[in-house]
Chain A
Amino acid sequence: MKRFLKLYRIEQKLALRSGDMLIFGVAMPVGIMILINMIAGSKQATEGFTYLQSSFASLIAVGICAAAFMGIPLTIAEYRDKKILKHFFATPCSPLWILGSDVLCAGVTALLSALSVAFVSIVFLGYEMRGNALAFMGSWLLTLVSMFSIGLLMASLCRTIKSVNAVTTLVYFPMLFLSGATIPYELFPSGLQKLADVLPLTQGIKLMKAVSMGAALENVWEIVVLLLGITAICTGISVKTFRWE
């Protein structure tokens, strides 16, 4: 455990040093939130809820989106492409250590993002969660784990940095803009909403949003089962198809 933490600390330092995740995962959602507050202020988005209350959960999902669909696949694919994973292979450590430390780094980025959004919204913008905070943390964790499993799958299936860059672009941007993470889902025309519903992150955001607003969600268990299923299938395939080179 001590050796794993040593490995993790260095990988985390490198992740912070590169700065990408701090920009896309932390600064971006906080910036969007401030912008929403400047534009909408205390205006009602839906009955009884301000724009901030309505978009709080979505903005927290931006950090998950960046860590899962950029952080994890880009790091692992780069390590594979540069043969850094091959260096790791020629040691007695378990391959799970390498993957585990990078997943943990991504998790810390997502957590840092969530805490930043929560801190700024509560301390400076007067946000109050109507729903149960513990249940919200549970829904955040479930969304995080399921999205990370998709990121791991991307890392396993894409063999080169070129292919992972292409797949990241194809996955990250639609998830960011169509899932409701940055643009409210409710503003989409019904055709676009149907398309957005296909995206796994949309389901995670719907769950987190309903929990944070204390609203009833008819198909809550369907979403939970779907996210658990995604986690099991994607993790299974990514472990099966993972290659050092």
Chain B
Amino acid sequence: MSTCIEVKDLTKSFNGRTVADKISFRVEKGEVFGLLGHNGAGKSTIIDLLLGLKKPDYGSGTIFGLDPSANRKAVFKRVGVQLQSSNYQNNIRVDELCREMSALHEKCEDYHKLIKFFSLEKLEKSKVNKLSGGERQRLSVALALINNPEIVFLDELTTGLDAAARREVWGHLKDLKKKGTTIFLTTHYMEEAESLCDRIFLIKDGRKVTEGTVKSIIESSPYENLEEAYLWYMGEEVAQ
């Protein structure tokens, strides 16, 4: 396997509060890498820094060996992004949004195939703001894949979804993994990390807590499942 994402000592502070503190990790091609932490732990900031959406105070992040802030075009030709916010233009329809996002990329998947893959074909003419939370999240993931990316970043993709909708999205992601797509996701659902991730990286208040495979992380704790192990790593009480 070869490294496709490399982060070295990434550091960022806002108003005197450090939200990313010397974060370093590598992601190998084809793996599903999960960045885990509580709300406000710094997960989205790390994605923003890595994608060049924010400038780090110190350290660097590269994708395919390139700095995304200096090589935006080259990087985003090969990378798809689903941001935490799934707001789109007022009154835009699903098909229009797909066509617009296709226009922003040079080479694209046929969006009809994608929306069928994500079971949205009947909603093609619906307004995006009329979609349910689950439908909108599936659309966001579909849009992140519209350029047939080699790496896809998924930021809190199942937040707000019910259990059935979450499992449906996971099924789609497992299919993507089989195709060889590298997936970088953030979540605070341990079940999601356990089901999808090859390796996970735990952060608390912008600092690394631990990293490894789901199995190794559980084994290094006194507990037998990821949820309890996670709480233990985070220094929280585990209910018996």
List A1-47 residues whose CB lies under 8 Å from chain B.
3-4, 6-7, 10-11, 13-14, 17-18
Number of interface residues of A (CB under 8 A): 26
A3 & B92 in contact (Cβ 8 Å cutoff): no
A159 CB → nearest B CB, Å:
15
- A-B contacts counted at CB < 8 A amount to 73
Known: A18-B90, A91-B105. A83 touches B85 (CB 8 A): yes
Q: Does A191 contact B (CB under 8 A)?
A: no
Number of interface residues of B (CB under 8 A): 28
B59 CB → nearest A CB, Å:
20
Q: Which of B74, B87, B102, B147 contacts A83 (CB 8 A)?
A: B87
Q: Which of A17, A82, A92 contacts B77 (CB 8 A)?
A: A92
B100 & A10 in contact (Cβ 8 Å cutoff): yes
Q: Does A127 contact B (CB under 8 A)?
A: no
Q: Is the interface of A mostly helix, strand, loop or mixed?
A: helix
Q: Does A195 contact B (CB under 8 A)?
A: no
Bound-complex Cα distance A86 to B53 (A): 8
Q: Does B70 contact A (CB under 8 A)?
A: no
Residues of A with C-beta under 8 A to B106: 3, 92
Residues of B with C-beta under 8 A to A216: none
A14 & B91 in contact (Cβ 8 Å cutoff): yes
Known: A6-B99, A10-B96. A93 touches B104 (CB 8 A): yes
With both beta carbons as reference points, the residue of chain B lying nearest to A83 in the complex is identified as: B85
A10 & B99 in contact (Cβ 8 Å cutoff): yes
Bound-complex Cα distance A93 to B74 (A): 10
B30 CB → nearest A CB, Å:
21
A82 & B87 in contact (Cβ 8 Å cutoff): yes
List B51-97 residues whose CB lies under 8 Å from chain A.
51, 53, 72-74, 76-77, 79, 81, 83, 85, 87-92, 96
Residues of A with C-beta under 8 A to B83: 83, 86-87, 90
A14 & B81 in contact (Cβ 8 Å cutoff): no
A88 & B90 in contact (Cβ 8 Å cutoff): no
Residues of A with C-beta under 8 A to B105: 91-93
B89 & A84 in contact (Cβ 8 Å cutoff): yes
B100 & A3 in contact (Cβ 8 Å cutoff): no
Bound-complex Cα distance A89 to B101 (A): 11
Bound-complex Cα distance A14 to B188 (A): 36
Q: Does A51 contact B (CB under 8 A)?
A: no
Bound-complex Cα distance A3 to B103 (A): 5
With both beta carbons as reference points, the residue of chain A lying nearest to B85 in the complex is identified as: A83
Bound-complex Cα distance A97 to B103 (A): 10
A14 & B89 in contact (Cβ 8 Å cutoff): yes
Known: A92-B72, A92-B76, A245-B53. A18 touches B91 (CB 8 A): yes
Q: Does A244 contact B (CB under 8 A)?
A: yes
Bound-complex Cα distance A63 to B105 (A): 33
Q: Does A172 contact B (CB under 8 A)?
A: no
A7 & B103 in contact (Cβ 8 Å cutoff): yes
Q: Does A242 contact B (CB under 8 A)?
A: no
Bound-complex Cα distance A17 to B72 (A): 32
**Interface code A73-109, partner B: CB below 8 Å = 1, 0 otherwise?**
0000011001110111111110001000000000000
With both beta carbons as reference points, the residue of chain A lying nearest to B81 in the complex is identified as: A90
Q: Which of A3, A89, A91, A93 has the most chain B CB within a 10 Å cutoff?
A: A91
With both beta carbons as reference points, the residue of chain A lying nearest to B71 in the complex is identified as: A92
With both beta carbons as reference points, the residue of chain B lying nearest to A79 in the complex is identified as: B89
Report A's interface with B, CB cutoff 8 A. Answer: 3-4, 6-7, 10-11, 13-14, 17-18, 78-79, 82-84, 86-93, 97, 244-245
8 contacts between A and B (CB under 8 A): A10-B103, A11-B100, A84-B87, A86-B53, A87-B101, A89-B72, A92-B73, A92-B76
Given contacts A7-B100, A14-B92, 4 further A-B pairs with CB under 8 A are: A10-B96, A91-B104, A92-B76, A244-B53
